[in-house]
Chains A and B, each alone.
Chain A
Amino acid sequence: MESVLSLGLTLVLAPLFPGIILKVKALFAGKQGPPLLIKYFTLAKLLRKGSVYSTTTSFVFRLGPLVACATAISALLFFPFAGMAPLVAFQGDVVVLFYLFGLGRFFTIAAALDTGSPFEGMGAAREAFFATLAEAALFAVLILFYRLNGSLSLAGYFTGTQPISLAGPQGALLVLVVVALFMLLLAENSRVPVDDPATHLELTMIHEVMILDHSGPDLALIELGAFYKLFFYAALVASLLKPLTPAGPVVGTLQFYGLLTLVYVAIGITESVTARLKMDMVPKYILTAFALVFFAIILTLELV
């Protein structure tokens, strides 16, 4: 019951948090910024509209948003929000869910190439390349977590008696992982400094340029999928920050959402104070995250 409630809460609240990022950025720019609920308004607006389809496109173009959103939601089913047992958990579920994200990416890229637009092709090529590197770094994180508590599922990482947490005995080592995961969060969710969701030039975009031709409810599905994916990664970082003191479901949830807000604020601050990297610097950026995790793994090895 608790699991269902927390999942429902997540599904409803996820579009709220990107509003926080916008608010923080506005604060830094000295502006008032859009209302907190802006993303709900955007979704409602998109859902009211119809669509224009390019005559070049085929059914793959329509499949892209559906698969991307479905994979993001299925990934959330595995997540133990606030340390509560998730709906589904089994040894190995992390592999499944990162591959599900891969499936979503496959169809997003295919949908972009389906339009025949050179800009969207360019964005797709970048997405495919950077995602490969990010995937390697994410699996390095999984290796580290397996060495830390012998589990291969999100529920195993963050619930039970020995959850992986910054406050736990290996906390010092996890600082590296938190930084690396935050960097990967920015890369995987097309945020500054890897990609700029607010830029005005299509040539410099990655994710936003891939969805140029989508409109109406299709675009709403893509946006929703993106909110859920960002929420997933932010929740991953927030779970690492969670203190070990036992808390009831209500207090725990509040604590968790507090930490989550912190992560989103951090994203907003990062976006306000850094510029986008040059495209050829992005691989180095992702490999830095990989190197951080790799270093943490080396610290866990007891090589004779």
Chain B
Amino acid sequence: MDLLFTALALILAGGLAPLSLRRWFACARALHVLLLTGGCLTGLSALFLSWNHTAIPSFSCSWLHTFTLSLTLDSLATVFLLPIFLLAPVIALYGYHYLDRGEHVWRTLVHQFFFSLLIVAMILVTLADTMIAFALAWEMMSLASYALVLYDHEHEECRQAATLYLLFTQSGALLVFAAFGLLFQATGSFAFEQLNQAPHAVKLTAFFLALVGFGSKAGVFPLHIWLPHAHPAAPSHVSALMSGVMIKMGVYGILRLFFLLDDPAPVLAQVVLGFGMVSGVLGVVHALGKHDIKRLLAYHSIENIGIILIGCGLGMLGLAEGNRIMAAFGFAGGLLHVLNHALFKSLLFMGAGAIIQKTGCRHLDQLGGLMKTMPITGRTFLTGSVAIAGLPPLNGFVSEFLIYYAAFLGLQLQGPNALFSMAAIIALAIIGGLASGCFTKVVGIVFLGEPRRQLNPQATEAGAAMRAAMLLLALTCVAIGLWPGPFIRFALHGLRDLAPLAAIGPDILGTIPYHLTLATWIFLALFLLLTALRSLGYRAKPIAQGATWGCGFTRPTSRIQYTGTSYAQDMVAFHRPFVKVKTASTPITRVFPETATYHSKVEDWAEIGLHRLLLQPLLHAVDKLRWIQHGHIQLYIGYIVLTIAVLLLVI
């Protein structure tokens, strides 16, 4: 635990110390990265040291003589801490060049402080062992991330997105605290370990309240509305941290509460599984319809949270039905996907940030051909795309495989649970297909082909620190894909300290890690063999360069290339009425055509629903109450007195 505190102190120092180095901007940024890296490496060593010990390190102190704040590092916390410690330094490294804006020195330094604060807050959330500690850390996390989104606060759009985020995160927190309140009332204790003594009905209510609260943080459909707004508004490394790591805290909350309540009823599992499937499929369908690269990635976060929840839901179903092998595979798949998604989503957001920084453009259909001008960004983005599409031989496939396995085991269950497992398999297959459709779109439109618009000046490769960060993450994705064994065992090990799964050892995996590795290497060997044969086949052969074959058309321009919108059109249209596609066009009517236009927009039902069902009635009602606000101070004081009097009488 001492090591962890050192890590926390170092990370916090990484935020504070640069504030004193205003004059030397580059030094201040470098110091931030160095201290953060030092802190995270210390944290990683703490994780490794506690890994093989069965004793669970913990710490507690009292606060205001009333509350006990305690921190505990158990195996579930370790699994969620790993992505934080791994990604924070890499993202900070990326930020070194990304935030190289001399005109915003003070703002950037404050930004770095909140960056450190957010990391500290996330670490505390995973370690918290009482409701009070958890709530404090949770609020710190929400406020710090709010400040991070506000970096470009001179833009109206950015302020709006940040306010929307704050509203969502605080309403979510409200629900979580309501759940805590219910549990406190039932058990009379703030300590996490006594939650399981609450009666069944209270547990169910509290879980569902908290599920909605945590779900809004995690970005579960239809509570995801803030995500596609906040990510395009925030700087890209903040998007990487929030999407890669912070939204996982919502998943952590759901899992932690589930295990603390220790009351696996099938209905919990079915609800979580249902949320997962809806998020997964609708997330990726909406992503297909988006043209803003960061908004598209934000919808993919919703999709991946869906996949994680499918894994966790299958695990819960396994526990509820007493099939512990299925439970272990489901949870392990979900946990491993937490790590995997953190890696490739951060990588993709970094790539998007590099593109936006260098081209000044975030609309897919105006980009093109960047693979030639930004080779490192292009190659790492391609790696991330294959990984997020869940394709072998990269890491996304490993976790999806475990979840598939759990779902197939679930087919043996009786009654509706078998149907739920079946739906999970079909949903995963559809998500996989659409995700690879969506990422061939992004890679194909942005990086391949010809530039659709002349850029002035030409895009150049991203800064060295940014390239290094992207390369590091891409290599990690490849490494997990090629040597999945240790990581699968790591995810499974994460279940060690959870009471219902404690007895499960790594032997239930059987030969799966070995065979997954074997299959990957067989493919790689074949690929290398074919590559060698191909170069043999091309020896001493004429190789010519020419224009792309235009099927007889000899004067092509780069604007006749397929666009992302047309690429995705059929796939999106197929999913109506679950997505709303709005089109407006002035068609060609005369023999000699005039200018024709075509606009299409994919709208989100959740957003429309929020507007129609909640916002408009609320505004209407508030409008009716306008007479309360009249500006007479004496009456305002009267309100206060009245309120206190009523409260005193009632309570």
Which residue numbers of A lie inside 8 Å of B, CB to CB? 47, 49-60, 65-67, 69-71, 73-74, 77, 88, 90-93, 95-96, 99-100, 102-103, 105-106, 109-110, 112-122, 124-126, 128-129, 131-133, 135-136, 138-140, 142-143, 146-147, 150, 152, 202, 212-213, 216-218, 220-221, 283, 297, 301, 303-304
Q: Does B628 contact A (CB under 8 A)?
A: no
Could you tell me the distance in whole angstroms from the C-beta of B133 to the nearest C-beta in chain A?
A: 41
Say if the beta carbon of B411 comes within 8 Å of chain A. yes
Question: Would you call B593 an interface residue if the criterion is a C-beta within 8 Å of the partner chain's C-beta atoms?
Answer: no
**B592 in the interface (beta carbon within 8 A):** no
List the 6 closest pairs (A to B, CB-CB), nearest first. Answer: A121-B562, A113-B444, A132-B433, A116-B449, A50-B541, A90-B515
Q: Are A102 and B541 in contact, CB atoms less than 8 angstroms apart? A: no
Report Cα–Cα, A80/B570, bound state, in Å: 37
Q: Is the CB of A115 within 8 A of B543?
A: no
B560 close to chain A: CB less than 8 A: yes
B444–A66 CB distance below 8 A: no
B418-A301 in contact (CB<8A): yes
Is the CB of B201 closer than 8 A to any CB of chain A? Answer: no
**A190→B518 CA distance, assembly (Å):** 30
Query: CB distance B426 to A140 under 8 Å?
Result: yes
Known: A60-B371, A88-B518, A121-B567. A115 touches B548 (CB 8 A): yes
Q: Are B562 and A50 in contact (CB under 8 A)?
A: no
- How close is A231's CB to chain B, nearest CB, in angstroms? 16
The smallest beta-carbon distance between A41 and chain B, in angstroms, is: 17
Pair B389/A106 contact, Cβ less than 8 Å: yes
Are A105 and B436 in contact, with the CB atoms below 8 A?
A: yes
**Nearest Cβ distance between residue B583 and chain A, in whole angstroms?**
17
> Contact at B449–A135, with CB atoms within 8 Å?
no
The reply to whether the CB of B408 lies closer than 8 angstroms to some CB of chain A is yes
| In the complex with contacts A103-B386, A136-B430, A128-B437 CB distance below 8 A | yes
Contact of B548 among A92, A133, A213 (CB under 8 A): A213
Q: A106-B391, A129-B437, A135-B429 are in contact. Are A124 and B545 (CB under 8 A)?
A: no
Chain B residues whose C-beta falls within 8 Å of the C-beta of A100 in the assembled complex: 392, 523
Decide if B642 is an interface residue (CB 8 Å cutoff): no
Please name all residues of chain A whose beta carbon is closer than 8 Å to the beta carbon of B537 when the two chains form the complex: 47, 216-217, 220
For B415, give its contact among A96, A138, A140, A303 (CB under 8 Å): A303
**A106 & B449 in contact (Cβ 8 Å cutoff):** no
**Is B445 part of the binding interface, using a Cβ–Cβ cutoff of 8 Å?**
yes
Confirm or deny: B397 has a beta carbon within 8 angstroms of a beta carbon on chain A. Answer: yes
B544 close to A50 (CB less than 8 A): yes
Contact A96 B411 (CB under 8 A): no
Complex Cα spacing A61 to B411, Å: 41
Between A and B, 30 residue pairs with Cβ closer than 8 Å are A51-B538, A58-B447, A59-B371, A60-B443, A60-B448, A70-B530, A74-B519, A90-B519, A91-B510, A92-B515, A99-B391, A103-B393, A106-B386, A110-B443, A113-B444, A114-B444, A114-B449, A116-B369, A116-B558, A118-B562, A119-B551, A121-B567, A143-B426, A147-B411, A213-B548, A216-B537, A217-B534, A217-B537, A221-B530, A221-B534
A102-B570 in contact (CB<8A) = no
With known contacts A92-B404, A125-B568, A139-B425, A69–B530 Cβ distance under 8 A: yes
Q: Is B643 an interface residue (CB 8 A)?
A: no
Contacts of B412 in A (CB 8 A): 150
Taking CB atoms, residues of chain A closer than 8 Å to B546 are: 52-55
Contacts of B436 in A (CB 8 A): 102, 105-106, 128
- What 0/1 readout, one digit per residue, does chain B (500-512) give for beta carbons within 8 Å of chain A? 0000000000111
How far, in angstroms, from A194 to B601 measured CA to CA in the complex?
A: 29
B401 proximal to A (CB < 8 A): yes
Chain B residues with CB below 8 A from A304, complex form: 415
Decide if B549 touches A117 in the complex (CB within 8 Å).
yes
- B405 at interface by CB-CB < 8 Å: yes
B450 interface hit (Cβ, 8 Å): yes
Query: Which residues of the partner chain B approach A116 to less than 8 Å between Cβ atoms?
Result: 368-369, 448-450, 548, 558, 561
Closest B residue to A115 by beta carbon equals B548
B16 at the interface (CB under 8 A from A): no
Question: What is the CA–CA distance of A173 and B582 in the complex, to the nearest angstrom?
Answer: 43
Residue B440 is within 8 A (CB to CB) of chain A in the complex: yes
Asked if residues A113 and B527 are in contact (CB atoms below 8 Å), the reply is no
Q: Within the complex, which residue of B390, B445, B547 is in contact with A113, where a contact is CB–CB below 8 Å? A: B445
Among B291-345, those with CB < 8 Å from A are none
Inter-chain contact B426/A60, CB cutoff 8 Å: no
Considering the chains assembled together, what is the distance between the CA atoms of A96 and B530 in angstroms?
20
Q: Which residue of A lies closest to B418 (CB)?
A: A301
Complex interface: chain B residues within 8 A of A102 (CB): 389, 391, 432-433, 436
Q: Are B397 and A99 in contact (CB under 8 A)?
A: yes
- In the docked arrangement, what's the CA distance between A282 and B378, Å? 34
Which residues of chain A come closer than 8 Å to B60, judged between CB atoms? none
Q: Is A52 in contact with B544, judged by CB distance below 8 angstroms?
A: yes
CB proximity of B64 to chain A, nearest CB, Å = 53
Tell me if B645 is interfacial: C-beta within 8 Å of chain A.
no
How far is B511's CA from A112's CA once the two chains are assembled, in angstroms? 38
Q: Are A99 and B432 neighbours in the complex by a CB distance under 8 Å? A: yes
Select which of A92, A109, A125 is within 8 A of B405 by beta carbon. A92
| Across-interface contacts of B562 in A (CB, < 8 A) | 113, 118, 120-122, 124-125
Residues on A with beta carbons closer than 8 Å to the beta carbon of B17 = none
Q: Which residues of A contact B418 (CB under 8 A)?
A: 301
Q: Is the CB of B534 within 8 A of A66?
A: yes
Q: Flag if B519 contacts A88 (CB, 8 Å).
A: yes
**Is B245 an interface residue when CB atoms closer than 8 A count as contact?**
no
Within 8 A of A (CB), among B373-403: 378, 382, 386, 389-393, 397, 401
Q: How far is the CB of B119 from chain A (nearest CB, A)?
A: 34
**Chain B, range 531-578, C-beta contacts under 8 Å to A:** 531, 534, 537-538, 541-551, 558, 560-562, 566-571, 574
**Is A114 within 8 A of B448, CB to CB?**
yes
Alpha-carbon distance A21/B20, docked complex (angstroms): 77
> What is the bound-complex CA distance between A47 and B541, given in angstroms?
10
CB nearest to B371 among chain A residues: A58
- CB contacts (< 8 Å) of A106 on chain B: these are 386, 389, 391, 436, 439-440
